[in-house]
Amino acid sequence: MLSNFSFRRLPAVFVSIFLIAFVLWSAGVEDVLRRLAGFPPWAVASMLALLTANLFVVSFRFWRVLAHFGIALPWDIALRASIAGTVAGLFVIPLFGQIMGRQGVLNSFGVQPVVNASLAAYERALLALLSGVLGTLGAVYLLGRSAVSDFFNQIALPEIVVAAIGGWALSLWLGGSRFERKLSRRTLSWTNLEHVMSIAGLTLTGQLLMLACFVVGILAVSQDIPIASLFAASALISLAASMPITVGGWGVREVAAVYVFGLLGIPAADALAMSVMVGLCSTLVILASSPFCFRNSLMSDLPKPPAVMIHSVSEIEEFTAWVLGTVVAVAVFFQVHVSLSGGPINLNLADPFAILALAAVSLHALFARQFPVWRVPQFNFALCVISLLLLVGFVHGWLEIGITQWALGGRLLGWLVLLGYLSSGYVIVANVGTHGLRRFAETLIATAVVVVMLQVALRLLSHWGVNAAAQLTQNFEGYAGNRNAFALQVLAGMALFLGYSHLYARHNIRVPRSVRPWIFSLLLGILLAGLVWTGSRTAMLVGAMALVLAWLGGMADHKMLGWG
């Protein structure tokens, strides 16, 4: 995995270059350059001031997040780490670069990569939530409530929320440990709620500063648009730019600006010039602040004292690894499809968290000089060879036929995400052990069961004449986008269930012994029914073979398997 480290920026760079080239060609390069040259100095100065204030707010937020996780660091160290992460985000995928830059500073103070990755996940989750809220409000203002409602129904957002919460709750009821119950109480406490609200307030402040930056940019080229409409449009652009698929938001931000401001009658060249100017000013602010972190890092070569931690290092690592693994196990069942030039991209809601896990594992290997340890011999070597083959194949295809979305997004970037999912399992086992692996599997099983049950409930409601505004298909697809992908998810849950069936039958887990046999048999039956309802003949054949082999080989509890 480490040998692939230097190539991880390539997919994001190619996506950014492709999108920027596309919008430049559409708007006209000469017109865009002419408007950039005529940008008023007062607007540039205002944008630089707003972006500098945003950098300070983001750094202060990171300092408070560290404190909320029980890590007490001086303000200047947190500021340096935050700036280093922002600088690194200019050159690689922001999710990965942010963690890499921060770890370069935090590693000297005893903060482990898995903790760093979980802090970034916490910040990103709140940022995504607030960006989504602001973007939704902006879309309602510009496009109307019916258009936004249709969009949410199309991506099944209410169903996803219900299924995700239901899967987590069922998993907790089935086998939740004392640690998880303690974690749930701590998460739902008033103190933690105050912490979350304070971080959300800082995040909202930073978002409003960014929106104001876009508004200033448009006012510099057109003063005829109402301020409310400009803020609404800026919220949509900011939401698009926050997608972690390009370098620093370049490309996606420009495409969104041309489309959204086009709805307000702003010419494409003006919208693109404004967006490019925002990107240039943001890059200038980041580069201007970078000497601060480098100057401080070179001031002393003496060993740094570890950060003062309210909780033990192992407790913080276990907590963060558990949360990261649980989020991946639940979110992996939900996918959305984004259409780009060259073909659609399938985005799984767990992909960003998988990338964070990959960053944690890679940075641990880099700073600890220790490769991940696997049970399979030479597994790291195999991963490096596969990564090299994919990269060579991509470069060969690029030289022969050019860049295609299939090769870039589906294969090269897809392999990066697969490494992230592999890393998420490694993070769980490395920090929590076999118990963490079992709970990871149970969360996957529980979420698969809830998705199948929800699909049944929606079809029953539709049959009874109740309009649930659900996008139902003839075969069960879950929220994977097609029946074969959902069948694979159900098969994975079934395989995990069979592997742990002996443990469920014999050991004292959270479910009372009096109901344990039939409740787990019921779960297996639901998974098998969901597999049949997908209509995938290949999946049904594979499932039947797995059941027969598990029965004949004694790899599953016969009683539980028979009742299921």
User: What DSSP line would sit under 189-246, residue for residue?
Assistant: SHHHHHHHHHHHHHHHHHHHHHHHHHHHHHHTT---S-HHHHHHHHHHHHHHHTSTTS
Q: What is the pLDDT of residue 4?
A: 40
Cα 127 to chain center, whole Å?
A: 11
Residue at 113 is within a domain: yes
Residue at 160 is within a domain: no
Residue at 494 is within a domain: yes
Residues 366 and 404 in one domain: yes
DSSP 337: E
Residues 331 and 446 in one domain: no
Q: Considering only CA atoms, which of 82, 90, 124 is closest in space to residue 9? A: 90
- Which pLDDT tens digit goes with each residue over 293-349? 665 554 444 445 555 454 555 666 777 788 888 889 998 998 876 554 445 556 788
- Residues 320, 326, 331, 332, CA torsion sign: positive
Residue at 129 is within a domain: yes
Residue at 301 is within a domain: yes
Ranges of H-type helices in 369-412: 379-401, 405
Residue at 425 is within a domain: no
Last residue within a domain, chosen from 349, 377, 411: 411
Residue in this structure with the two tokens 């060259």, named with its chain if needed: 342
Pairwise CA distance, residues 332 & 172, whole Å? 18
At 323, phi and psi to the nearest 5? -65, -45
Q: What is the pLDDT of residue 2?
A: 39
- Which pLDDT tens digit goes with each residue over 82-126? 988 888 877 766 677 788 888 888 888 888 888 888 888 888 888
**First CA to last CA distance, the chain:** 40
Residue at 82 is within a domain: yes
Residues 239 and 385 in one domain: yes
For residue 306, give the 3-state DSSP assignment. coil
Contact indicator for 71, 316 with CB cutoff of 8 Å? yes
Pairwise CA distance, residues 420 & 375, whole Å? 18
Pairwise CA distance, residues 280 & 493, whole Å? 47
Residues 262 and 354 in one domain: yes
Pairwise CA distance, residues 131 & 137, whole Å? 10
Residues 339 and 400 in one domain: yes
Residues 437 and 407 in one domain: no
Beta bridge partners of 348: 335
Residues 452 and 402 in one domain: no
- E strand or H helix that includes residue 281: helix 268-297
At 63, phi and psi to the nearest 5? -60, -45
Domain count, the chain: 2
Beta bridge partners of 347: 336
Residues 269 and 356 in one domain: yes
Residues 491 and 524 in one domain: yes
Q: Considering only CA atoms, which of 524, 518, 563, 526 is closest in space to residue 546? A: 524
Residues 438 and 474 in one domain: yes
Domain that holds residue 492: 433-563
Pairwise CA distance, residues 154 & 159, whole Å? 11
Which token pair is 105? 């500073």
Last residue within a domain, chosen from 377, 411, 445: 411
Q: What is the pLDDT of residue 62?
A: 94
The low-confidence residues of the chain, meaning pLDDT below 70, are 1-37, 92-94, 243-252, 293-316, 337-346, 403-410, 469-470, 505-517
Contact indicator for 73, 66 with CB cutoff of 8 Å? yes
Tell me how crowded residue 45 is: count the other CB atoms within 10 A of its CB. 12
Residues 467 and 502 in one domain: yes
Residues 407 and 437 in one domain: no
Residue at 167 is within a domain: no
Pairwise CA distance, residues 491 & 253, whole Å? 39
Q: What is the pLDDT of residue 407?
A: 66
